[in-house]
Amino acid sequence: MSFRSQKLINADDTLFIFIDHQPQMAFGVTSIDRQLLKNNTVALAKAAKLFGVPIILTAVETEAFSGYIWPELLDVVRQKPIERTSMNSWDSDELVAQVKASGRKKLVIAALWTEACLLYPTLSAIEEGFEIYFVTDASGGTSLEAHDAAIRRMEQAGAHPLTTINALLELQRDWAHRETYDGVMDIVREHFGAYGMGVDYAYTMIHKAPQRGTFPHEAPHPAGH
């Protein structure tokens, strides 16, 4: 039986919030490679869905400025986003009502940009007694300096940094949890580079599992092997 730490995120006490993962917001990000940002954000959403963690999705000034939420993210979350005008999503009565109705006190937040749309609701939610975990590599700032300064400010206020892979593995925690094991491995192989390549190698070369691609690699067998 796994130890249930109150200092770790758990699937039954956590709510994920994705804030403003929209094209115009991503255009302004320079603190992280934008393709990596999208990859991590989609992986984070898949992790929440796999473990049955509720998700809130919000967007700012969609048709006036920011554009539609990334389709890859919407295809995972499959819900209508809360539309806002304020940079601080905690100004949205609808968002705050949904958060409070969930009954969950741990909020995992990813947002664009770090220095505004992540920082402001983080500080606001802490004031209202919520425990905040912000995902550094599914968020991005207009400069590395702005991103890092916001991170320091959130940490000083008591929020906790996470990365996407950190969140995924923290929810799994024990490889004996077989009901989510295959799903975790699917996310890893699709989104986590060398880690995923290593899993593919171990599955096929060591455990002799079939290749996961629809067009398998048929290698010749050298003489004497």
In the prediction, which pLDDT does 225 show? Answer: 59
Instruction: For the full predicted model, state whether its pTM sits above 0.75.
Output: yes
Q: Is the pLDDT of residue 6 over 90?
A: no
In the prediction, which pLDDT does 120 show? Answer: 98
* 118 touches 88 (CB < 8 A): no
Which comes out higher in pLDDT, residue 223 or 158? 158
Say how far apart CA 202 and CA 194 lie, in whole Å: 12
Question: Which of the residues 117, 123, 125, 146 is marked catalytic?
Answer: 117
For the stretch 136-152, pLDDT in tens is 999 999 999 999 999 99
Say how far apart CA 115 and CA 144 lie, in whole Å: 10
Tokens 């209202």 sit on residue: 128
In the prediction, which pLDDT does 4 show? Answer: 80
Say how far apart CA 90 and CA 96 lie, in whole Å: 6
Structure tokens at 140: 């991005």
Q: Is the pLDDT of residue 47 over 80?
A: yes
Let me know if 117 is a catalytic residue.
Answer: yes
Say how far apart CA 123 and CA 130 lie, in whole Å: 10
For the stretch 64-93, pLDDT in tens is 999 999 999 999 999 999 999 999 999 999
